[in-house]
Amino acid sequence: MVTTLRALRGRGTMGLTELAARAELSRPTVEGLAEELLSLGWLAEEPPETGRMGRPRRLFRFRAEAGHVLGVDIGAHSVRALVCDLEGRVVGRFSTRVRADSGRADRLNAVRDTAAAALEEAGAGAARVMAACVGTTGVVTAQGVVRLSVGLPEWTGIDLAAELAGDLGPVVLVENDTNLAALAEQWTGVAEGVQDLLFVLSGVRTGAGMLIRGEVHRGRRGMAGEIGALPLVGWHRAPSHLAGFGGLPAGTPPEEAAGLALSAARSGDPAARWAVEQYAHDLAEGIAALVLAMDPDLVVIGGGVSRSGDVLLEPIRRHLDPLCLEPPRLAVSTLGDQAVVLGALRHALNHVDAGLYDIDAPFPTPKDS
Amino acid sequence: MVTTLRALRGRGTMGLTELAARAELSRPTVEGLAEELLSLGWLAEEPPETGRMGRPRRLFRFRAEAGHVLGVDIGAHSVRALVCDLEGRVVGRFSTRVRADSGRADRLNAVRDTAAAALEEAGAGAARVMAACVGTTGVVTAQGVVRLSVGLPEWTGIDLAAELAGDLGPVVLVENDTNLAALAEQWTGVAEGVQDLLFVLSGVRTGAGMLIRGEVHRGRRGMAGEIGALPLVGWHRAPSHLAGFGGLPAGTPPEEAAGLALSAARSGDPAARWAVEQYAHDLAEGIAALVLAMDPDLVVIGGGVSRSGDVLLEPIRRHLDPLCLEPPRLAVSTLGDQAVVLGALRHALNHVDAGLYDIDAPFPTPKDS
């Protein structure tokens, strides 16, 4: 059944001859398996093709609507949620602004409300969610506990998997947000097909996520990519150059400072250009350490500043290349502020796939039958 | 056949009942497959057990003598070679001293002579070698070319796979020496069973090799672990503290300086203790960058200084721990100067295993039949 499901998945509607060829099984065997998957609710049969000679041609498709997955990005200033079907088509979305100084309870409520609103747009309840994934800043354990977070108040120690289990569905995965962004770049961003990927989140804070041989590399304690903790390289001071740029209007919120400084640099403001130069210098130090450590296929710069790739890429490259043995491949994310929530969707889909494709486990039940 | 071979390999002599159980196949099926492997030369049949009721019990074993593998470590001051059978039992070994300033031709000749002497001790010629692996300092491409080497004269650009192909056997793998040392630690050293491993080679030079999910992580261009290229962390200056220790007798060869300085520190010499302190400080900076990047399960300190683990481990830990988010697990290699050549053997054995266990490829032919 797994072979038949794999052969059909993501390929639209298919007749038995093609299905048998793709699954490398005989036609009668594939027909039997398709019948079984039909009765389980994982396949649908479309009206047969008419107007042809011989018996009508039976057509099958994977029931992408057999369940949903939910992705959530818990940020300092916002919570974003996306719902998609099992082929990855987005069918619901919602975002909520939150205050950066929100405490644990308020932020958790925003997560629950945002997820519920996205599910409502999808016409689905939490009971239809086959897997949910929540992305958060900080060091996340394999059990879904935030072991250390400097970015969000009252966040260190929170057991997100347990807090959200009832509200977001039966399976709530928790993952570091930069790791999810790396997954998203590989899925649908500038890193399609890349196996060893370094994703650098830059903006109000700086962080890194990585894929090795196509999979998220978390490290033993979920601490891979935390080069910002090493004061010898400049990540700890990098954001201050943009946030402290003197040309900002009084009272500029910190989350807008970087964008304004980069805009001013684009317009040729000398002080802003100097701030960007300093920022690129310090960012490059940490990127160089990670590039020298893992030698990735590609480095993707994402996060808030990725909208200003035209201003940033050249100085980053100029500071980075001399620090590396050979210049690494460098690209700017095109997913913008959607990278983390898209990565959360992909991570949840991967979890569903692992269940569907696990030949040693009982076959899962669709959520709509 | 692959299942039957796997079930028997590394487990000595086995009867058909146990073999069938381990292979999860029926007894008649396993007997047929064992006959086929016998005729191919991959199994041997031992004399049946006697003195029992019923028909004699047929006993089979994997023919570890069906081929050999060769491992070579090309160092600055020596070349080491080991030969083992297909179960990893060492059956030949030889080492040669070489001058550090030897050029390409002399060093290659030393490699050929050392390998030939080890094979002679094993009673085997190059024709019996199923795979050879050569470890070298420097950045090594996937094709076996040394792309960059600062450690050995005339070494950058050498195509080791091509240079040695005829002399060492039909398959010559080339790998960075620190990566091989990491493999050896996992195979038979202090890192048994460790999946994500950081191996730090320390002594006359400093380098790192790593395993991720149990496999060597080379990086896109073979440059993973090259944190020593980043002047912000102290690897580039670390060896000079020991080599430049003032208490050394005039004319001490550089490869002996570190050992003498560490001995003097062990005896309580204040200047030597200060040199060790500085060395540990600089070594810890590079290790911290790699630990923060990769978050490994274990860090193993190997290379020339690992014989002095009693003097070194405490200062390294004292400098390293405050630089990391959490102290990493740290161990000192017990393989000493054998780590690279043992890793070369393991890498060559892995290559043979991949051929034996590849169900899509034609079954390989034993080298002695």
Look at B5-14, B283-292, B325-334 and tell me which has the smallest mean pLDDT: B5-14
Are the Cβ atoms of B219 and A294 closer than 8 angstroms?
yes
Mean pLDDT of B115-142: 93
Task: Give the mean model confidence (pLDDT) for residues A223-243.
Answer: 94
β partners of residue B82:
B71, B93
pLDDT mean over A110-119: 97
Per-residue pLDDT for A56 more than 80?
A: no
Q: Which residue in A223, A285, A287, A323 has the most chain B C-beta atoms within 10 A of its own C-beta, making it the best mutation to test that interface?
A: A223
Would you call A293 and B227 a contact, using CB atoms and an 8 Å cutoff? yes
Contact between chains at B295 and A224 (C-beta distance less than 8 A): yes
Report the distance separating Cα B217 and Cα A220, nearest Å: 16
pLDDT of residue B174: 97
Q: Are B88 and B27 in the same domain? A: no
Picking from A62, A83, A110, the residue at the C-terminal end of a domain is A62
Each residue of A128-159: pLDDT tens digit?
899 999 999 999 999 999 999 988 999 999 99
CATH for A294:
3.30.420.40
Helix (H) or strand (E) holding B339: helix B339-357
Are B208 and B321 members of one domain? yes
Instruction: Express each pLDDT in A188-208 by its tens digit.
Output: 999 999 999 999 999 888 999
Q: Is residue A366 part of a domain?
A: no
If asked whether residues B8 and B95 sit together in one domain, one would say no
Residues B30 and B160 in one domain: no
Percent composition of chain A: helix, strand, coil (DSSP 3-state, to 5) = 45, 20, 35
Residue B269 domain flag: yes
pLDDT greater than 90 at residue A72? yes
Q: Report if residue A363 sits inside a domain.
A: no
**B259 inside domain:** yes
Classify B8 as helix, strand or coil: helix
- Same domain, residue pair B32 and B130: no
The 10s digit of each residue's pLDDT in B235-260 is 999 999 998 888 888 888 877 888 89
Closest Cα in chain B, distance from residue A237 (Å): 15
Residue of B233, B288, B295 with shortest CB distance to A221: B295
Same domain, A196 and A328: yes
Banded model confidence at residue A364, pLDDT cuts 50, 70, 90: confident
In a domain, A369, yes or no: no
Q: Give the whole-angstrom CA distance, residue A60 versus residue A37.
A: 10
Task: Looking at the structure, tell me whether residues B272 and B304 fall in a common domain.
Answer: yes
Which contiguous run of DSSP H or E holds residue A317? helix A309-320
3-class SS of residue B110: helix
Out of B62, B79, B114, pick the residue that ends a domain: B62
Q: ipTM, 2 decimals?
A: 0.92
pLDDT digits (tens, 9 = 90+) for B318-333: 999 999 999 999 999 9
Q: Spell out which chain A residues touch chain B, with contact meaning CB-CB distance below 8 angstroms.
A: 139, 148, 196, 212-213, 215, 217-227, 229-230, 232-233, 285, 288-290, 292-297, 323-326
pLDDT of residue A307: 86
pLDDT at A105: 96
Instruction: Using the CB atoms, write b or e for B289-306: b if 16+ within 10 Å.
Output: bbbbbbbbbbbbbbbbbb
Domain boundary among A15, A30, A62: A62
Say if residue A329 is in the same domain as residue A343: no
What mean pLDDT is reported for chain A? 92
Are the CB atoms for B298 and B329 separated by under 8 Å? yes
Which has more confidence, B252 or A176?
A176
Distances (CA, A) of B339 to A198, B73, B187, B190, B348: 30, 9, 10, 11, 14
**pLDDT at residue A261, rounded to an integer:** 92
Q: What is the domain range of residue A146?
A: 67-182+339-357
Are B132 and B53 in a shared domain? no
Q: Is residue A91 situated within a structural domain?
A: yes
CATH number at residue B48: 1.10.10.10
Q: What pLDDT band is residue B224 in, cutting at 50, 70 and 90? A: very high
> CA of A60, closest CA in chain B: separation in Å?
31
Collapsing DSSP to helix, strand or coil, B23 comes out as helix
Number of domains observed in the structure of chain A: 3
pLDDT of residue A131: 95
Mutation target among B223, B298, B323 for the A interface, most CBs of A within 10 A: B223
Are B52 and B76 in the same domain? Answer: no
Q: What is the mean pLDDT of chain B?
A: 92
Residue A119 pLDDT grade (very low, low, confident, very high; cuts 50, 70, 90): very high
Interface A-B, measured as beta-carbon pairs within 8 A, has a size of 107
- What per-residue confidence (pLDDT) applies to B319? 97
State yes or no: pLDDT of B369 exceeds 70. no
pLDDT beyond 80 at A254: no
Residues of B at the A interface (Cβ-Cβ below 8 Å)? 139, 148, 196, 212-213, 215, 217-227, 229-230, 232-233, 285, 288-290, 292-297, 323-326
**Are B148 and B162 members of one domain?**
yes
Tokens of A58: 């039976």
Domain membership of residue A126 (yes or no) is: yes
For residues B111 and B99, membership in a common domain is answered with yes
Any domain includes B363: no
A 10 A CB-CB count for B137 gives 23
Q: Indicate if the pLDDT at residue A52 is higher than 70.
A: no
